[in-house]
Amino acid sequence: MQANLYALGAIALWASLAALGVSLTHVPPFLLTGIALVIGSVPAWPLVLRDPAQWRIPLRTLALGVYGLFAYHLLLFVALRHAPAVEANLVNYLWPLLIVVLAPVVLPGVALRWPHVVAALLGFGGAALAITAGQGLDGRLAWGYLPALAAAFVWSTYSLLTRRMAAFPTTAIGLFGLVSGLLSLLCHALLEPAAALQASDWALLAAMGLGPLGASFYLWDRALKLGDPRHIGILSYITPLASTALLMAITDRPVNASIGMATALILGAAVLGVRTR
């Protein structure tokens, strides 16, 4: 139960990402991600100053963290630039399904039972309804779908492989974010035009860094260390639903039937998945 609460905390923070991003669309994506990830590492700094050993982790552990935080965002941004946004986002949200399906492959002693598969498929169906709002999809082929699929694979395997690594403190997530943020800023310097930020931009970037690109990663790490990744993967389908609902609320869009159906599917999937032992 404690692991599920940590996971729900991360999901709640991730749900706010799209709403914050709406106000920061003018900020180049690598600049936005880099600043937010560096800010997200700040809460770990006082703990590391008191005990520097918390960031003395094996290089392979740091590499896994950068693989998860930096490679995921890099691939997602490439996908969103080269494929229709709704469809690319839908492909990206295969990662909860991949967590469920790949758990027995990556983690010894974890079995995949049919209720997990059914719950994961129900959750993906609900996510599809929430993301597409019940509308038809763009049928054009775009190579951007490949990096979107790669992003889903990266986040799912990162999430599972943290269980295979030698134990490391959750504080190390701050180091993952700091290194990934600096790499994102390097990408901005090399690939994006310079941008001038206003005081309001910095306030929103601070909120993003301390929330969906900061505290969420610490909560996610605790959830994965304490809980069943199959259950956590299924619960993760709440993210696109909550994100869409929050966007509708702040833009005064009415709740439609597709959101109601998506809610029923995702909550049903969550109940089925969590109750399966």
Per-residue model confidence (pLDDT) at position 98: 84
- Cα dist from 189 to 29, 53, 204, whole Å: 12, 32, 21
**What is the domain extent for residue 29?**
2-275
How many CA atoms lie within 13 Å of 138's alpha carbon, on the beta-carbon side?
A: 15
* Site of tokens 């974010």: 177
Q: What angle do CA 249, 98, 237 make, to 5 degrees?
A: 20
> pLDDT tens for residues 4-24?
899 999 999 988 887 787 788
- Could you tell me the two tokens for 83? 């494929």
Do residues 88 and 112 lie in contact, with contact meaning Cβ atoms separated by under 8 Å?
A: no
Per-residue model confidence (pLDDT) at position 270: 67
Q: Structure pTM?
A: 0.85
- Could you tell me the two tokens for 109? 């002693």
Do residues 33 and 262 lie in contact, with contact meaning Cβ atoms separated by under 8 Å?
A: no
The rounded distance, in Å, linking the Cα atoms of 171 and 169 is 5
Q: In total, how many domains does the chain have?
A: 1
Per-residue model confidence (pLDDT) at position 276: 57
Q: Flag residues of the chain having pLDDT under 70.
A: 86, 130-131, 133-142, 247, 251-256, 259, 270-277
Task: Tell me what percent of the chain is helix, strand and coil, each rounded to the nearest 5.
Answer: 75, 0, 25
Per-residue model confidence (pLDDT) at position 173: 96
* Site of tokens 């996971």: 7
For residue 225, what is the enclosing H or E element?
helix 216-226
3-state secondary structure of 168: coil
Per-residue model confidence (pLDDT) at position 143: 77
Per-residue model confidence (pLDDT) at position 23: 83
Do residues 272 and 122 lie in contact, with contact meaning Cβ atoms separated by under 8 Å?
A: yes
Per-position DSSP letters for 130-151, written without gaps between them: HHHTTPPPP----TTHHHHHHH
**Alpha-carbon 7 to chain mean position:** 11
Do residues 154 and 268 lie in contact, with contact meaning Cβ atoms separated by under 8 Å?
A: no
